[in-house]
Amino acid sequence: MMAKKTIMLVCSAGMSTSLLVTKMQKAAEAQGIDADIFAVSASDADNNLEAKPVDVLLLGPQVRFMKGDFEKRLAGKNIPLDIINMADYGMMNGENVLKQAISLIEG
């Protein structure tokens, strides 16, 4: 059994992303992956990073401009960061976004 993976999605408000979280959770269950997947708004990101060990941080396409800012915040934390693929986000493809997250964690 692999260790639990904590996947944090950051978006502007969190509405559309919560649907993606649900789809990612379903994909994780189907694949037998133990994952804590949650979405936060950009303003809540710091609190969440302090509150729990996050394995990977994915930015929604609407907040891609914040990537540099998040790279600074994550400096020294060893948390991979990427922007969710635009097409997968648009299609709400939880399986692909989960795959993206896990490949980042496994490096």
**3-state SS assignment for residue 5:** strand
- Spell 58-84 as b/e; 16+ CB within 10 A means b: bbbebbeebeeebeebbeeeebbbebb
The catalytic site residues sit at 11
